[in-house]
């Protein structure tokens, strides 16, 4: 489901009423529709983003010290986030 226009988002924290100009209830509805309940693998996330696992890890899993944190044993629970 789309909100009817393109809005640049790079972090889950960008899903805010003031940034999207739509009510929080609609944001939750869109997120619930877009994200499945089961945990995501890094490979699945990379496929959705259309990039390699290495690039996805480097962009989204980098710690402050520059190291890359590994995929959690239970996967990435994006809908719960």
pLDDT tens digits, one per residue of 22-60: 888 888 888 788 888 899 999 999 998 899 999 999 998
Residue 13 confidence (pLDDT): 73
Query: Could you tell me what percent of the chain has a pLDDT over 90?
Result: 42
- Name every residue whose Cβ is closer than 8 Å to that of residue 36 and which is 6 or more positions away in sequence: 79
For residues 35 and 3, the model is more confident at: 35
Nearest to 57 by CA among 79, 72, 77, 38: 72
Residue-range domain boundaries for the chain:
1-34, 38-81
The answer on pLDDT for 17 being more than 90 is: no
Q: Which residue has the tokens 């044993």?
A: 73
- CA dist 45 and 51 (Å) reads 9
Q: How confident is the model at residue 8 (pLDDT cuts 50, 70, 90)?
A: low
Residue 5 confidence (pLDDT): 56
């Amino acid at each position: 489901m789309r909100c009817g226009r393109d809005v640049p988002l790079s972090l889950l924290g960008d899903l805010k009423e003031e940034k999207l100009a739509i009510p929080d209830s609609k944001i939750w509805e869109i997120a619930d529709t877009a994200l499945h309940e089961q945990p995501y693998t890094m490979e699945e996330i990379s496929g959705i983003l259309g990039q390699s696992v290495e690039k996805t890890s480097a962009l989204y899993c980098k710690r402050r010290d520059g190291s890359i944190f590994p995929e959690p044993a239970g996967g990435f629970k994006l809908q719960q986030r």
